[in-house]
A and B are shown apart, each in its own frame.
Chain A
Amino acid sequence: MAAEKKIKIIVAKPGLDGHDRGAKLLSRIFAESGMEVVYTGLRQTPEMIVETALQEDADVVGLSSLSGVHNYFFPKVVELLKTKGLEDVIVVGGGIIPLEDYDGLKKAGVKALFGPGTPTTEIVDFIKNNVRKN
């Protein structure tokens, strides 16, 4: 039996936000936990993020936002993934996101949200437990 294909995750910073401590830290932790990681860097449009997901044949897109633009960007990424036929790609998010926005984002198709103080192990476990389960 061939070795199971590694989970591939795109870690992306949508918009003009420059806070990338979390995105970079998680990129390293995902890689250490056996995933294949592509970090996009800053200033990504939804189109750029989805294009990367397509090119890289990603399983997961992780969006990080600390500038209050999650309600604008996160649903756009989910939508664009669908139009490209990538509805199997799981979208998760994190950053400074008020709890009251969680419901709306989840309805829009964001699979999980991780706020400040979340143990990184919890995020890794969630991804491992939810990728390629459908």
Chain B
Amino acid sequence: MFEEKAIQQIKASKEKWDETVEKSFAKAPERRKEFTTISGTPVNRVYTPLDIASMDYERDLALPGQYPFTRAVQPTLYRGRFWTMRQYAGFGSAKDTNERYRYLLKQGQTGLSVAFDLPTQAGYDSDHPLSMGEVGKVGVAIDSIEDMKVLFDGIPLDKVTTSMTINAPASVLLGMYLAIAEEQGASFDQVGGTVQNDVLKELTVRGQYIYPPKPTMRLTVDLIEYCLKNVPRWNTISISGYHIRESGATAAQEMAFTIADGIAYVEACVERGMDVDSFAPRLSFFFNAFTNVLEEVAKFRAARRAWAKIMKERFKAKNPRSMMLRYHVQTGGVTLTAQQPLNNIVRVGLQAYAAALGGCQSLHTNSYDEALCLPTQSAVTVALRTQQIVAEESGATDTVDPLGGCYYVEAETDRIEKEIFDYLEKIDALGGTLVAIEQGYIQKEIQNSAYRFQKEIEANERIYVGINKYTMEEPPITDLLKVDMSVGEVESQKLQKLRAERDQAKWKAALDNLRKVSETDENVVPAVIEAVKAKATVGEICDVWREVFGQYRPKEYV
């Protein structure tokens, strides 16, 4: 990028400058001995061409939409259209949540994102003993296709795309969604959206697992394979770093461990006999955005470049679409404080700005009250407006990768990319992602970072506004969203009615068939769709698999 002569000149003046600056420290020292990002990465006083002297523009950056996609996966990015504004929402009954969805769409949201309650995510019906107290709490309670019908009532599924945060039972909820779309008159190839379907991070950081690693991976791959042939616009997996970061990982660890999971899925699909260029274009990702804008932007750019190289070099993909890291971003829930909650609006604003500068494909902005409860409607509105302000007013959307070429961001992009590949090398040496998870390697790395961060906060080495500096007495917030405790009872009654009134013979035949198929190597998804149409519940279908596959019992690494 730079001529050798110019580099030598800059080097000489930088040395002189450092000397002068450091002399002045006797009178006016810097605020800290060492400056680090929230991830603990050292930050230099200033960055110059010296920090990116080895950069080759065509090789390392190229233009937007060109390999290695450092700058963006699309040529015009937000000059074409903004990212999809997709707020993760769900609580109470299907009817409560349907009202929230209609409100959000009316307010200019452009896609839906379903939060299911924990019983649904863990594959239990609302009347199961383990569901007690949990029904409708952190998401919407869905037991059967009847609930799903209410959830999407009046929402045209051929026009709106929907993301569903569902993992081990992903094909069950996808099956219900497809069946309803069909009833609305939309064919499978018109329907678009995403299922999270990322079971590996459930084993390491998120905890909504059901089955042991091998059979749960089989269900994941079955869904990918099925959609490839039947639901071509569907993003078959959302490989998630979000929860890895929430659990304490650094920015580089978030990307490294997510890409390690991605590699495991690609390997599993190839092993199934799929051609890499057939399924890879439908893989999508999901990342976090913290408040340190520059580090986050570097992280996104580094991951785009790393994934492109891995797909091209390691998996020999030919189709450029297979090499594109397309991703959703959610702002960092764990960065929000219960203290002085309105300050969170500013944090979310910076995080959304980072996501935009980083080139995300869709975005969820958190609500300021989320360290206290599920968001109220007014808090959700501010959150949605926050990303609309970033999109419409900040200017970040008018040019692609505006921070490209920034000495610091480029140097940090290189550094994070290197850390990603160093981690991948370690994981490969252990025997791959599944082994690294089984041995607790990934979990322990994340926990160590969480521990380091906590210690820094408590030693006042890192400042968190409202936590260890600028604290104040304040009255408690009272305007919090409360989920009606009776949701569990109402759902249980609905289930009793469903079980009594459905066509028993059809229901039994469908579940018997699902069991039979699950015991073979055949793809389970068609049998799942038949079962949900026969009004089998989420719990009943998941129970069939519990019997066939067994249940996961994690080892805890503390």
Contacts and interface: CB of A to CB of B under 8 A. Distances in A.
B480 A100 contact: yes
A69 B372 contact: no
Contacts of A15: 118, 130, 133-134
A25 B450 contact: yes
Interface stretch (A54-62, A104-112, A117-125, A126-134): A117-125
A42 B551 CA distance: 14
User: How many of chain B's residues touch chain A, expressed as a range?
Assistant: 35 or more
Nearest to A122: B458
B134 A67 contact: yes
Contacts of A69: 133-134, 137
Given A17-B118, A18-B206, A42-B207, A96 B451 contact: no
A100 B130 CA distance: 26
Nearest to B247: A21
Nearest to B448: A28
B373 A68 contact: yes
B34 interface: no
**Interface SS of chain A: helix, strand, loop or mixed?**
loop
A41 B556 CA distance: 6
B132 interface: yes
Interface in B445-477: 447, 450-451, 454, 458, 464, 466-467, 476-477
Contact of B334 (A21, A28, A39): A21
B558 A27 contact: yes
Given A21-B246, A115-B338, A120-B458, A67 B118 contact: yes
Contacts of B119: 16
Contacts of A98: 372-373, 476, 480
A119 B339 CA distance: 13
A99 interface: yes
B338 A117 contact: yes
Contact of A25 (B118, B122, B337, B454): B454
Interface in A16-75: 16-21, 24-25, 27-29, 37, 39, 41-43, 45, 67-69, 71-73
B403 interface: no
Nearest to B132: A72
A85 interface: no
A75 B101 CA distance: 34
Contacts, number: 96
Contacts of B137: 67-69
Interface string B9-46: 00000000000000000000000000000000000000
A73 B137 CA distance: 13
User: How many of chain A's residues touch chain B, expressed as a range?
Assistant: 20 to 34
B339 A20 contact: no
Interface in B341-384: 371-374
Contact of A16 (B130, B247, B372): B130
Nearest to A20: B207
Given A25-B451, A28-B447, A72-B132, A96 B373 contact: yes
B286 to A, nearest CB: 16
Contact of A120 (B202, B208, B454, B466): B454
Contacts of A119: 458
A115 B477 CA distance: 14
Nearest to B372: A98
Among A25, A37, A45, A121, residue most surrounded by chain B Cβ atoms (within 10 Å): A25
A71 B131 CA distance: 14
A16 B118 contact: yes
B133 A73 contact: yes
A120 B338 CA distance: 16
Interface string B326-344: 0000000010011100000
Contact of A117 (B118, B132, B339): B339
B443 to A, nearest CB: 9
B206 A24 contact: no
B554 interface: yes
Nearest to A41: B556
Contacts of A25: 248, 447, 450-451, 454
B138 interface: yes
Among B202, B371, B558, residue most surrounded by chain A Cβ atoms (within 10 Å): B558
B483 interface: yes
B520 interface: no
B496 interface: no
A16 B467 CA distance: 29
B138 to A, nearest CB: 5
B206 A116 contact: no
B54 interface: no
Contacts of B483: 68
A19 B247 CA distance: 8
Interface string B133-154: 1100110000000000000000
A100 B556 CA distance: 33
30 contacts: A15-B118, A15-B133, A16-B118, A16-B131, A16-B208, A17-B207, A18-B118, A18-B208, A19-B207, A21-B246, A21-B247, A21-B248, A21-B334, A21-B450, A24-B447, A24-B450, A28-B558, A29-B454, A39-B558, A45-B130, A67-B118, A67-B137, A68-B137, A68-B373, A72-B132, A96-B373, A98-B372, A98-B373, A100-B476, A115-B338
Given A98-B372, A100-B478, 19 more contacts: A16-B118, A16-B134, A24-B558, A25-B450, A28-B447, A39-B558, A41-B556, A42-B207, A42-B554, A45-B130, A67-B118, A73-B133, A96-B372, A96-B373, A115-B338, A117-B464, A117-B466, A120-B454, A121-B458
Task: Give 9 nearest A-B pairs by CB, closest first.
Answer: A18-B207, A72-B133, A16-B118, A99-B476, A69-B133, A68-B137, A41-B556, A116-B338, A27-B558
